Structure 1
Amino acid sequence: MKDDKKTPLERVNQIWLDEGISLHRKYLDGRTGGIRLFLSFKNAQKLNFSNQILDTTEMVGAELSKANFNNSSLARSNLFGADLTGAEMQGCSLTKSDLRGACLEDANLEGASLTSADIRNGFILLRKPDGTYEPVKKDEATSFDGINLKGADLSDAKLGRVIGRRTNLTNVNFKNADLTGAVMANSDVSGSIFTGADLTNADFSGCVFHGANLSGALLNNTNLEGADLTAAHFNNNDLHYASTLDAHLPKSVETLDRTLIIILEDHMSWINSLGRKGRQANLSQYDLQATDFAGINLQAAELSFSNLSNCTFLASRLNMANMTNVMALNTDYSDADMRGAKLENANLTGASLRHCRLSPMTILGTQGNKVNANLKNCCLDQTDLENADLSHADLTGAKVRLASLSNANLSHAKCVDVDFTGADLRSANLEGADLRGSKGLILS
């Protein structure tokens, strides 16, 4: 009878690890007495590696389940075949690391950087006394099941046939990544970037793509059956070779029951009559790319889950409009009235909101009750918000990276966990703003 029992890995403790990390830092600095950290085939589960520089460490086949790597750097490290089940790796840098065959089930990699990392399948062979070889693990594919990769950077990463069903992949940067043969069925990839990524033979069936950018992705024989592609950004040619059976696709304006002009006229009557005449404009889930709405009154209109990319809303009225989950890449909202608007989970990358009003909206007949603009988890990367009024707006969890906020009014705004990395905040008003958990905030 074959004995399937594996020899237990040598256990290391926290004291040994802390000393090893200290010597590794000397090694990285080129100081005398430095020794590279070597944890290959050792058991370091549940140990604390957080807030350390651990670049180039060797951890092949290591048992690292439930270890804490939060905010540490593991750039160019060798984690081939390592068990990282349930590991805490928030904000961890794994740039150019080797994660082939690693187990990342239930790991938390929120906000981690895996740029150019190798996460393809792989397995380790060990030589037995009789000269033959046996695999340490039978699974050949890297497991992503249950992983949290929210906001992680996987640009240029090699993922290959990774398996990550029911995975949180929201707002992940997959730009130019290799996902050939990956299995990500029933995962949430809302807000993620796939430009230039190779998804050949990948399984993304049942996935939610709200606000995701698939433009320019290679989708040869990609399984998108049953996927929700509402408010996703792509060209029709991008899906030509993909399987989209039962997929939920954006609706075309040609399927509207009335012309767009009549819809806008009816909406104006609805506004002016306080709802007694006309009809509220409902353009939810429609593909409205490159439409000119300049100067149009869309107050309280229903625009959720629509694709508004490259549209013009110059000086338009969008106060109290529902724009949750919209895709609005490079859209012009300059001088628009967006008081009290709902923009939760919207993707406004590259949009212009110069002089835009996103302040509270006073509701008539309610003794002065006000509704604040809602931009929770909104992507405002590379937007122009110069002189915009965001006072009292809720920006919880928003990304405002590389945005221009010069002279913007953020007084009393809720900016909890906002990412301001690279943002220009010169002369911005942050009086009374709630900045708990925000990062990248540099004030001049």
Structure 2
Amino acid sequence: MLCLSLLSPPALADGSTGTFKLPPIDTSAKNRCSFSSSNIGQANAARDKLYDLRECDMSSQPARGYDLSGVLMEGTNARGADFTEAQFSKGYLHTSDFREATFVNAVVDRASFTGSDLRQAVFRNAVLTGTSFDGANLEGADFSDAYIGDFDQKALCKNPSLKGSNEKTGEDSRFSAGCK
């Protein structure tokens, strides 16, 4: 049993798994590139099928209050999308465009924004627990009144792109994230 655990390390939900492989994109799926909320409610990423929005253009689309738990968004254009009060538990949100997106009052729990563009995004009053922003561009992002755990806040404050002010809210990015 010990040999098995050494050969296959676990895939971690925080995005730190280096060799994570995603299944191929099913481009034939009808209505694949549209936001839809989970029918299970508070499902915590439990869906009846893979929720795959990779390489989709979701720019400026509303997703207010949607349960987007377990969503795969890689190479996705979600610029200006409204995620107010949305839930992103266990979201894989890598190398996507979230510029000017709104995450006000959202629950972004154990999600990974690795390499994504979050310039001018607003996370006001959002819950950001176990969420990774490794290599993300956070210039002008607003984290005012967001709940960020101590460990997550330390990692967030180490991001060199966390600078400037948000054009809509006027909030300083580093100050709003609670960085010293």
The bucket for the TM-score relative to the shorter chain is 0.7 to 0.9
| Sequence identity (%) | 17
Please report how far the alpha carbon of residue 354 of structure 1 lies from its aligned counterpart in structure 2 after TM superposition.
0.7
Please report how far the alpha carbon of residue 184 of structure 1 lies from its aligned counterpart in structure 2 after TM superposition.
1.8
Asked if 1:430 corresponds to 2:175, the answer is yes
Root-mean-square deviation (CA, aligned residues, Å) is 3.3
Structure 2 CA distance for partners of 1:357 and 1:327, relative to 1, 3 Å: same
Is residue 314–residue 336 contact of structure 1 (8 Å, CA) maintained in 2? yes
Distance 2:83 2:111 in 1: 15
1:224-268 Cα offsets, whole Å, 9 max, x none, are: xxxxxxxxx41448xxxxxxxxxxxxx96766xx6246x65xxxx
SS in 1 for 2:175: coil
Is residue 213–residue 234 contact of structure 1 (8 Å, CA) maintained in 2? no
Distance 1:431 1:341 in 2: 16
Higher relative contact order (CA 8 A, sep 6+): 2
Distance 1:386 1:203 in 2: 37
TM-score of the superposition, structure 2-length normalised?
Answer: 0.73
Picking from 152, 160, 163, the partner of 1:406 is 163
Asked if 1:282 corresponds to 2:38, the answer is yes
Distance 2:76 2:177 in 1: 34
1:174-193 Cα offsets, whole Å, 9 max, x none, are: xxxxxxxx5328xxxxxxxx
Picking from 115, 122, 132, the partner of 1:379 is 132
SS in 2 for 1:303: coil
Is residue 380–residue 403 contact of structure 1 (8 Å, CA) maintained in 2? no
Distance 1:340 1:355 in 2: 16
Distance 2:142 2:15 in 1: 27
Please report how far the alpha carbon of residue 282 of structure 1 lies from its aligned counterpart in structure 2 after TM superposition.
2.8
AA of the residue aligned to 1:394: Y
Picking from 101, 112, 127, the partner of 1:336 is 101
Gaps spanning 5+ residues in structure 2: where? Answer: 40-44, 167-171
Please report how far the alpha carbon of residue 350 of structure 1 lies from its aligned counterpart in structure 2 after TM superposition.
1.2
Asked if 1:210 corresponds to 2:2, the answer is no
Please report how far the alpha carbon of residue 208 of structure 1 lies from its aligned counterpart in structure 2 after TM superposition.
5.1
Matched positions, count: 162
SS in 2 for 1:184: helix
Matches within 5 A, 1:17-416: 163=2, 182-184=3-5, 202-203=7-8, 207=10, 209-212=12-15, 217=19, 233-236=20-23, 259-260=31-32, 264=35, 281-282=37-38, 285-359=50-124, 372-396=125-149, 397-398=151-152, 399-400=155-156, 401-408=158-165
Structure 2 CA distance for partners of 1:307 and 1:430, relative to 1, 3 Å: same
Is residue 32–residue 52 contact of structure 2 (8 Å, CA) maintained in 1? no
Is residue 290–residue 310 contact of structure 1 (8 Å, CA) maintained in 2? yes
Please report how far the alpha carbon of residue 306 of structure 1 lies from its aligned counterpart in structure 2 after TM superposition.
1.7
AA of the residue aligned to 2:163: S
1:373-422 Cα offsets, whole Å, 9 max, x none, are: 0111211112111111110011213232434111257xxxxxxxxxxxxx
Please report how far the alpha carbon of residue 304 of structure 1 lies from its aligned counterpart in structure 2 after TM superposition.
0.9
1:295-341 Cα offsets, whole Å, 9 max, x none, are: 10111112111211221110111111111111111111101111111
Distance 1:288 1:402 in 2: 26
Structure 2 CA distance for partners of 1:403 and 1:377, relative to 1, 3 Å: farther
* 4+ residue segments displaced more than 2 Å: 207-215, 251-255, 258-261, 280-285, 399-403, 427-433
Is residue 355–residue 387 contact of structure 1 (8 Å, CA) maintained in 2? yes
Distance 2:177 2:110 in 1: 24
1:152-178 Cα offsets, whole Å, 9 max, x none, are: xxxxxxxxxx94xxxxxxxxxxxxxxx
Distance 1:296 1:432 in 2: 26
SS in 2 for 1:354: coil
Structure 2 CA distance for partners of 1:344 and 1:253, relative to 1, 3 Å: farther
Structure 2 CA distance for partners of 1:235 and 1:260, relative to 1, 3 Å: closer
Structure number, greater radius of gyration: 1
Structure 2 CA distance for partners of 1:429 and 1:348, relative to 1, 3 Å: closer
